[in-house]
Structures are given as structure tokens and as C-alpha cells.
């Protein structure tokens, strides 16, 4: 699946889109909380997978391209929840064809 022009029917995965904001704690300080922006149909493809060492631990970092239809608050999307996985959004690009957007996402897991 190319980011250039998704085919009709290619958006087959159901995902949850989340924003992130900070909340003040009662005892001081802040915590981060997720805010659900909505559900969307998406086309998800794996772009890269690599093994890295972080803090002395081997981890797998995978990069995904998530294609969705353009929507409000596109720039606020920070996480994509998909099949029990949490993908962190690292980039958003609006596609010129038929109102789509491509989210570049990463996921790190211990191995």
C-alpha cells in the first residue's frame, strides 16, 4: 500500500485515535492522560523493523504507515490503538488524493 493513493476498500482495520494532554495531580505535579478522538477505518502497513538496545535491554522497534481519511484535529493524534497494540504517532502527512492522511507510527517492544 502506497501513501500516494489508497484503493477503495483498502481501509480494513478498525483503530482508535487518541490525543494526549497533561492533568494536574492533587499532590502537585502532572500526569499524562489520553483523550479518545474517535474510531476510524485504516490501512496499516509495516515499513521497517529493527532491533535496538535501550537501557541495556534489547527491544524491537517497528515503524508503520497508517492511512486514514482526513478528519478534524488530525494534528492532535498522538496514539493509534490497534488490535491491543499502542502505536505512537511520530509524523502526520496530508495526502493530496481524495482526502486521506498518512500517520507514521512506531511501536517498541521488549524481546
Q: Which residues pair with 56 in a beta bridge?
A: none
Residue 101 belongs to some domain of the structure: yes
Residue 97 belongs to some domain of the structure: yes
Residue 8 belongs to some domain of the structure: no
What local confidence, expressed as pLDDT, does residue 5 receive?
A: 64
Q: Structural domain of residue 31, as residue ranges? A: 13-110
As a whole number of angstroms, the distance between CA 8 and CA 11 comes to: 8
Residue 54 belongs to some domain of the structure: yes
Residue 68 belongs to some domain of the structure: yes
> How many domains does the chain contain in total?
1
Across the chain, mean pLDDT equals 91
Q: Does residue 59 carry a pLDDT above 90?
A: yes
Q: Does residue 71 carry a pLDDT above 60?
A: yes
Residue 91 belongs to some domain of the structure: yes
- Number of residues that make up the chain: 111
What local confidence, expressed as pLDDT, does residue 8 receive?
A: 65
Residue 5 belongs to some domain of the structure: no
Residue 47 belongs to some domain of the structure: yes
pTM for the whole structure: 0.85
CATH code of the domain in which 72 resides: 2.40.10.270
Amino acid at each position: 500500500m502506497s501513501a500516494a493513493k489508497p484503493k477503495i476498500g483498502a481501509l480494513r482495520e478498525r483503530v482508535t485515535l487518541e490525543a494526549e494532554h497533561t492533568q494536574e495531580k492533587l499532590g502537585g505535579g502532572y500526569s499524562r492522560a489520553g483523550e479518545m478522538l474517535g474510531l476510524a477505518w485504516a490501512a496499516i502497513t509495516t515499513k521497517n523493523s529493527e532491533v535496538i538496545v535501550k537501557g541495556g535491554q534489547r527491544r524491537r522497534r517497528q515503524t508503520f504507515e497508517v492511512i486514514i481519511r482526513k478528519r478534524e484535529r488530525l494534528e492532535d493524534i498522538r496514539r493509534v490503538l490497534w488490535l491491543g497494540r499502542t502505536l505512537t504517532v511520530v509524523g502526520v502527512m496530508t495526502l493530496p488524493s481524495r482526502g486521506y492522511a498518512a500517520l507514521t507510527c512506531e511501536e517498541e517492544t521488549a524481546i
